[in-house]
Structure 1
Amino acid sequence: MRFQFLLTFCAVLNAGQAQQIGEVDYPYLGIKFTIPAGWKGAETEGAYIIGSDTQPGFILMVPHEIKDVALLKTEARNGLSEEGIYLSMTSDFESVGPGGIGAEFNGTIQGVAAKAYVVGVINPLGYGVTIIAATDVPNYSPAYKKLAKQVAMSLKFTHPKEPPFASQWKEALNGATLTYMNSSYSSGPSSDGYSSYSGYSSHIEITLCPSGAFSYSSSSSSSIDTGGGSMSSGGKGGGQGKWSLTGDAGGNNVLKLEFSNGRVDTYTLSYNNDKTYLNGKRYFRTFKQNCY
């Protein structure tokens, strides 16, 4: 049986992503690695996937921000659960080069019973990397452990290169309040003299203090009236922490919010027609001088 997760890899390639072989360099992340011979790779959203035309399974590389080996082990023991991947650790840890640990995992990927060897590598200079070499259970062999370790040992970390216009973005955002507002309203047909409608509104405010601290608040509300009954709902959120500017693999500037509760939000920054965008959404930039 042709392993089903390769459909993910094929979908990435068919979407027009360039296939890569050999050494891959991401200077804006400070990460360089080598694709194993006979395999080829492509970028996918938030990760890098490597596949083969002749061998089942894949190698998935995902960045992480863990700096402590003990915490890396704790996360591994808790298992992997993301984007259709559900894996639990089934072996003891092994050391994999400096700053790396590896172990075998069992579970499911896209609903298929799977087995994988997973290596987590700490990067003292920036993003670390998790490497998952996986296939379905019947096709798993020590070769996948070897592949994961091979990629891990090829990793080279350097100080990330500063993205273009990073200093301009820092100047533009330092002390600024970023506000997102969105609302919609639509009316529907009338029934027995009663009008129907639906409405929605959303508001986000992020204040970026010169000290490196930030405050975040959000609110949303929605309502609907069918003419025979109505319903409304709403919610609020907020938090504080530290903000910084970083880059992504493509050299885009990224706003990073590290909340005091451990949550991390990232926003790709762009500027067009004198307007500021975070993850493609328009934010108004003002200076209210309300830093705490």
Structure 2
Amino acid sequence: MSDRTAASLRVEALSYGVGDGRHLVDAVDLTAAPGETVGLVGPNGSGKSTALRCVYRALRPTGGTVLVDRRDLAALTPRESARALAAMTQDSSVDLDFTVREVVALGRAPHLRGNQPLSERERDLVTAAMARLDIGHLAHRGILTLSGGERQRVLVARALVQEPKILVLDEPTNHLDIRHQLELLSLLRGSGLTVLVVLHDLNLAAAACDRLAVLSRGRLVASGTPGEVLTAELLREVFGVRAEVVRHPHTGDPQLLYVLPTHP
């Protein structure tokens, strides 16, 4: 989708505190090399979404820095930041009934001035992004008429059209059927971009990510390859579940077989 090179992402001692003295994110360090897909995982309330909001500047960290190719993201203008990093969030929404093509084309906004029309290349980018997300047939539909899964794919296409160096996504597989979950995660990993993604499904995270970073109570408790991180001990201590870790017969990725709490 983009001929721009991917950027490195480095988060150093990132913290976000609230008024009562608690830290929702507490001194988190993580890195993503250019072109690497890093999954951020953890139980509900562990600080994943808050950390992501600090990375894409929806929240101002109370401590630490976010560096893109060793440049402090907070020092960039909003336009510069949007050209470097695109975000797809859980609360992404479109309140007006634009067509799908119009919504996807909004991804070009950081590159345009005023009412400048799209170039031929940019129109081709929009068409290609819709094709890759399997939404070309929806181009002239109003976005408010779409299902949750269709709308999710439109927003991913919009982020890709932005031509960022880094993609930050918070639960991008929400509302998607299994086919589109797998296709989306495969697309992200093969995009050549640096990707930081929050996922709840640990089996999907193991299959789609080069490395995982595990948060618990706002702190980073483990990081490494999926095989290094996803152990029965960590699953019990961090997620409070019993699971057996096996290898996928085709890919060798770790896969988790959960045991219901009622099972002896």
Report the TM-score range of the alignment, normalised by the length of the smaller protein. under 0.3
Q: Which structure would you say has the larger RCO, counting Cα contacts within 8 Å and 6 or more residues apart?
A: 2
Larger radius of gyration: 1
TM-score after normalising by structure 1: 0.21
Structure that is richer in strand per residue:
1
Higher helix share: 2
